[in-house]
Structure 1
Amino acid sequence: MILEALGSAVLGLILAWAAAHRLAHRLPARPLVFSTGVAGALFGDFVTRTALGPGTALFSLLGAAIIAVASLSLLLRPTGRLRRRSLTA
Structure 2
Amino acid sequence: MILEALGSAVIGLVLAWAALHRLAHRLPTRLMVFATGVAGALFGDFVTHSALGPGSLVASLVGAAIVSAASLSLLLRPAGRLRRRSAPA
- CA deviation after TM superposition for structure 1 residue 4, in Å: 0.4
1:34 aligns with 2:27: no
How high is the TM-score relative to the length of structure 1?
0.95
TM-score (norm 2): 0.95
- Secondary structure at the aligned position of 2:55 is classed as coil
After superposing on structure 2, the runs of 4+ consecutive aligned residues of structure 1 that deviate more than 2 Å are none
Partner of 2:70: 70
SS at match of 2:80: coil
Structure 1 CA distance for aligned equivalents of residues 66 and 7 of structure 2: 14
Q: Tell me, which stretches of 5 or more residues in structure 1 are unaligned?
A: none
Q: Does 1:16 align with 2:16?
A: yes
Percent of aligned pairs with the same residue?
77
Q: In the alignment, which residue of structure 2 is the partner of 1:47?
A: 47
SS in 2 for 1:83: coil
Alignment of 1:76-87 (within 5 A): 76-85=76-85, 86-87=87-88
Report the secondary structure of 1:23's partner residue. Answer: helix
Instruction: Name whichever of 60-69 and 75-84 sits farther off.
Output: 75-84
Q: Distance in 2 between matches of 1:6 and 1:64?
A: 11
Query: How many residues matched?
Result: 88
| CA distance, structure 2, for counterparts of residue 15 and residue 84 of structure 1 | 33
CA distance in 2, matches of 1:66, 1:27: 19
Deviations 1:50-87 (A, max 9, x none): 00100000000000000000000010000111123432
Q: Provide the C-alpha distance between the structure 1 equivalents of 2:20 and 2:84, rounded to a whole number of angstroms.
A: 29
Q: Over the residues paired in the alignment, what is the CA RMSD in angstroms?
A: 0.7
Structure 2: runs of 5+ lacking an equivalent: none
